[in-house]
């Protein structure tokens, strides 16, 4: 028997939100939408956490098992589709109202979901601003040089982002100067694949010697927490 007593909800998704969702799809195959104006995702290895505040109001909790597939379905419509929700589905209405694609929710247990508790970032000893141009440069250099790691390094006077291969001493590297140091000496190592998962743009970057970093987007309410890798070192100035 069809249940006619459930409450129906409706919403639309802006291009900005769709762009962030596409980025989140590179971090985690699935996503759990939560009622409200915040979206979160976490990688399967729990080494990348992402969060964004959106303009839309998500009307209900629902899970999507394959986010990239869901976005491909949404992209079939070129006319700003409407999303209608029932108990088990989201109905994507587009093509001037003539198309209604019924997309089934998944159970939360089928996907890796972020922790409910807000992450508490340790006091960061390292702080700097990374421009969009410098971020794009580092990603291109790491790709061309086949660098599996990226390190934030300082000799105390200058800060550099270095592309490298820790397993190959003869590998090609690139060092890009991004700012002045504060006397602290460090080498904070990240996997290139993890850094490449953040949305292209400028960021305020905060890194703790306790193994966690925070990338806050300069123009969007978007941020990422990414773990540093084994071999990272920090030496506080005298």
- Structural domains for the chain: 9-110 (3.70.10.10), 126-235 (3.70.10.10)
Q: How does pLDDT run across 171-183, given as a tens digit for each residue?
A: 999 999 999 999 9
Across all residues in the chain, what is the average pLDDT? 93
Judge whether residue 201 has pLDDT over 90.
yes
**pLDDT number for residue 8:** 67
**pLDDT number for residue 7:** 60
Distance CA 115, CA 6 (A): 28
The helix/strand/coil state of 227 is: strand
pLDDT-derived band at 10, boundaries 50, 70, 90: confident
Helical pair 15-25 and 67-75, crossing angle rounded to 10 deg: 150
Determine the longest span between alpha carbons in the chain, in angstroms. Answer: 74
Does 132 or 7 have the greater pLDDT score? Answer: 132
Q: Which residues contact 66 (CB under 8 A, 6 or more apart)?
A: 29, 30
């Amino acid at each position: 028997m069809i249940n006619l007593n459930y409450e129906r909800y409706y919403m639309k998704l802006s291009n900005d939100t769709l762009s962030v969702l596409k980025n989140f799809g590179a971090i985690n195959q699935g996503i759990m939408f939560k009622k409200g104006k915040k979206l979160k995702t976490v990688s399967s290895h729990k080494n990348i956490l992402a969060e964004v505040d959106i303009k839309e109001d998500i009307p209900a909790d629902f899970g999507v098992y394959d986010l990239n597939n869901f976005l491909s379905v949404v992209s079939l419509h070129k006319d700003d589709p409407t999303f209608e929700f029932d108990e088990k589905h989201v109905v994507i209405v587009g093509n001037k109202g003539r198309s209604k694609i019924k997309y089934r929710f998944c159970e939360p247990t089928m996907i890796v979901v972020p922790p409910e508790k807000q992450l508490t970032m340790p006091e960061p000893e390292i702080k700097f601003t990374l421009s969009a141009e410098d971020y794009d440069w580092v990603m291109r250099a790491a790709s061309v040089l086949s660098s599996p790691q990226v390190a934030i390094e300082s000799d105390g006077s200058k800060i550099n982002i270095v592309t490298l291969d820790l397993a190959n001493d003869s590998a090609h590297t690139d060092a890009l100067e991004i700012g002045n140091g504060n006397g602290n000496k460090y080498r904070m190592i990240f996997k290139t694949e993890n850094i490449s998962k953040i949305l292209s743009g400028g960021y305020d970057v905060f890194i703790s010697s306790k193994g966690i970093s925070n990338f806050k987007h300069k123009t969007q309410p978007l941020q990422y927490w990414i773990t540093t890798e084994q071999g990272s070192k920090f030496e506080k100035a005298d």
